[in-house]
Structure 1
Amino acid sequence: MKIAIIPARGGSKRIPRKNIKDFNGKPIIAYSIEAALQSGCFDQVIVSTDDQEIAEVARQYGAQVPFLRPENVSDDYATTADVLLHAIDWFAEQAQEIEYLCCIYATAPFIDVSDIKATYQSLIDNPSAEYCFPVCEFPFPIQRGVKLVNGRVEMFQPEHFNTRSQDLEPGYHDVGQFYWGKPEAYRAGIPMFSNKAIAYPISRKRVVDLDTPEDWEYALLLSKVLSGQV
């Protein structure tokens, strides 16, 4: 059985009610639910939440909410891994075996159905891998990054001060949209950012991290650009 799990707790602090906040005419969680359903990859699309209103919105857009997440995996300190392990254990208690699990974040308005399909195919084509998820290239060489120490600048890798950008190895980061994985890997605590994972590069023009109100405004502007409105 292949399951999509969309974590969506109700206690967002920096953007209140973030997971069901309106984004271009519909709750932002709807984009993740609809992409999961349209991909045809899943036997069940589940929203894991502690919030009745979020549960109702999720059901309106076609997701299932077979349980409400308990308090111990719903506070500010609960990790995504905690949420996924809770869901894995819940399905095990129902005598339902999960073969592949995809964690899809609720705030991923630029998620693409083709990416969900392609990453799943990559994972099943590589049986020795435990995870597969999208990444994008940093817009600037990470080797030239600086830090501030008592207000003064220091390079992380000063040996590359005079290295040409085109001679530096590209760096990538997780885009924070979704992650395919095997339940046994989560249970074993195998690190996702390791050689047990396959990276699937996508364009950074579809990548935004929605943590602050400023991020939200940027995402709305980006959506207009991508849809050709500006």
Structure 2
Amino acid sequence: MYRDKKILAIIPARGGSKGIPYKNIMDICDKPLIAYTIEAAEKSKYIDYTMVSTDDSKIKEVSLKYGASVPFLRPQEISNDTAKSIDVVIHGMNFLKEKGEKFDYVVLLQPTSPLRTHNDIDEAIEILMNSEDDSLVSVCEVDENPAIMRKIKENRLEPIIKFTGENLRRQELPQVYIFNGALYINKVSMLLEEKVFVNEKTMPYIMEREKSVDIDNMLDAKLVELILKENGND
């Protein structure tokens, strides 16, 4: 709880994964991947309830071991490849509401972002809840500016973004950011009314690029292991 507002953390973790089988509980430095996110949520000063939403009994077992609540197995209609995260979150909120648990804010924590810490979570909560805005999303700087990127059309190179000036130097380009998938924080009322995590008023929470690795393949997993080992696996 922060400023008398009750905060729910939802960790979505379905069993199916096209790239890496059982990715959410794969071993990363002798610990299941999802454990890093559960532990970060549990260490948060402000999160009141940490829930894993999964359709898989193995993931449920691992999640319970590391301290999360898993009060249901997610229905298959919101567990397939086309399922939207917003539907998963609303389903989880409604389930808890029927059990008498009501919250003011929801923090969506994807288990594929294991380098996000409890300090990141708490700082982001403070930033959002000391503002007048309804939502916040974590971002990081991009490696390459889209202004220097090109698409190929009819065997010709065309710019993705057109600037009025010519021959812009890299240092003159505007800094741009990308969602890193680590944190989404929203007022419950916004989620229920708009059914989106991000709108034109969403605040950014800037994270370091080395904390922003989102595991999508084995190369990402190896990079995370390297970073964790260099940091003492803390």
Instruction: Tell me whether the two structures share a fold, i.e. TM-score over 0.5.
Output: yes
Of stretches 16-25 and 100-109 in structure 1, the one that deviates more from structure 2 is 100-109
SS of equivalent residue, structure 1 residue 69: coil
Counterpart position of 1:49: 54
Tell me how far 1:203 sits from its aligned partner: 1.1
Counterpart position of 2:24: 19
Equivalence map 1:31-42=2 (5 Å): 31-42=36-47
Ranges in structure 2 where 5+ consecutive residues have no aligned partner: 1-5
Counterpart position of 2:157: 153
Query: Contact conserved, 2:108 with 2:184, CA < 8 A, in 1?
Result: yes
1:185 to 176, 181, 190: 190
Equivalence map 1:43-192=2 (5 Å): 43-127=48-132, 129-150=133-154, 152-159=156-163, 162-189=167-194, 191-192=196-197
Ranges in structure 1 where 5+ consecutive residues have no aligned partner: none
**Alpha-carbon displacement from aligned partner over 1:170-218 (angstroms, at most 9, x marks no partner):** 1111111121111111112254333321101111122112112232223
Tell me how far 1:10 sits from its aligned partner: 0.5
Q: Distance in 1 between matches of 2:206 and 2:155?
A: 35
SS of equivalent residue, structure 1 residue 45: strand
Amino acid paired to 1:93: E
TM-score, length basis structure 1: 0.91
Aligned sequence identity (%): 35
2:202 to 185, 197, 210: 197
SS of equivalent residue, structure 2 residue 97: helix
Tell me how far 1:132 sits from its aligned partner: 1.2
Query: Contact conserved, 1:8 with 1:49, CA < 8 A, in 2?
Result: yes
How large is the RMSD of aligned CA atoms in angstroms? 1.8
SS of equivalent residue, structure 1 residue 22: coil
Amino acid paired to 1:212: N
Q: 1:152 to 1:188 in 2, by over 3 A?
A: same
Q: Distance in 2 between matches of 1:61 and 1:180?
A: 22
Query: Contact conserved, 2:115 with 2:224, CA < 8 A, in 1?
Result: no
TM-score, length basis structure 2: 0.90
Q: Distance in 2 between matches of 1:99 and 1:50?
A: 25
